[in-house]
Amino acid sequence: MKRILTYFFTLLLCSFFTINTLQAAPKIIPRAPDIAAKSYILMDYNSGKIIARKKADMPVAPASITKVMTAFVVFSELEEGNIKLDDLVTVSKKAWKTPGSRMFINVNSKVSVEDLLQGMIIQSGNDASVALAEHIAGSEDTFAALMNQHAQELGMKNTHFVNSTGLPDKAHKTTARDLAILARALIKRFPQYYKWYSTKDFTYNKIKQSNRNTLLWRDKSVDGMKTGHTEDAGYCLLASAKRNNMRLISVVLGTSSANARAQETQKLLNFGFRFYESHIIYPAQKTLKKIRIYKGSKEQLAVGVANDIAVIIPRGQYKNLKPAMTMNTPLEAPVSKGQKLGSVKIKLDGKILASSPLIALEDIPEGSLWQQAKDSALMMLE
């Protein structure tokens, strides 16, 4: 009996130390896999933080990935009410004759904006891109100026467009980082149109063409975005995938083949999902806490953050995050909605991962004379 008890005690002790050793072990994150591309980047959608990169700011030819910005401009025009999806576009001779991939629209035919968008997004139609550019801006050159204005507003610092298609031009350049910024902005701002990027095929003029993003068939978590290829650019792929509540954006530029761009993108996405987790710690415009406000029409003020506070962290480290708030107190009315009142920081192992101002989520005007007098007295006592 003694031998049996000794055996079980030893087994329990070993189990205890094994469990605690596993819990105490530091989180090991390997370096990103080798990616056979001229440049690449992997971005967390929620936070915009970069997980892995190589020559991410090197200007390169983007080929047909250019059409993501073309679509962004068209979506912006739709949002502003300047055009509608059912508007009919008259196809010019220039659009009809544009070389490269096409959706096979006919010269002088009338095609809806919606069909042209799908022809551009799914079939990568250069003819559709030019037709949309001319419809919106009168000429492709003017449309390219619009593209560059949007790029500047988005913070795409190393980008310059000269056409709507991505056809070769020495002055037509962008970077892996800038394309990731663009993709994140498009998905966030235009989710109702982003769905087209997951469409596997589109038929126009009785011609059915498949989406060139083969990851739509290989990986069910991939739901967009765009391929590109020219002799100068090589084979390129901008992709986005979502697993559970985590979305990643990858850009792989300058690979050797259509199969290579898909394989290298898959390696990059799998690495990100395997070793990292993404969390929105504090959602935008939600009450984080209520604080005492003096001399106001109300005694409690709701505070929060203007934009989502999100972090990308090694898997298993969520429990170790340490949020901290600081407030400018005591607080007196009047207070305006959006007014900065303090700050919030998210730390991991002493390092600040994210920070944001704390703002008032409501207006609180001055209270009655009685309320102001009473609160003045209370503040003196405190």
Question: β-strands 289-294, 322-327: how paired?
Answer: unpaired
CA dihedral 342, 348, 351, 357 (to 10 degrees): -20
Supply the residues annotated as catalytic: 64, 67, 124
Which of 52, 308, 33, 355 shows the shortest CA–CA distance to 180? 52
Element (H, E) at 372: helix 369-381
> CA 13 → CA 7, 24, 268, distances in Å?
10, 16, 41
Query: How many CA atoms lie within 13 Å of 177's alpha carbon, on the beta-carbon side?
Result: 16
CA nearest to 197, candidates 302, 117, 304:
117
- Please report the sign of the dihedral spanned by the C-alpha atoms of residue 60, residue 61, residue 67, residue 72: positive
Token readout for 197 is 């990027």
d(CA 177, CA 70): 18
47, 312 in Cβ contact below 8 A?
yes
What backbone torsions phi and psi does residue 55 show, to the nearest 5 degrees? 50, 45
List Cα–Cα distances, 63 to 81, 120, 173, 232, in angstroms. 29, 13, 9, 8
Question: Which residue, 121, 114, 95, is CA-closest to 209?
Answer: 121
Helix 66-79 and helix 126-137, axial crossing angle in degrees, nearest 10:
40
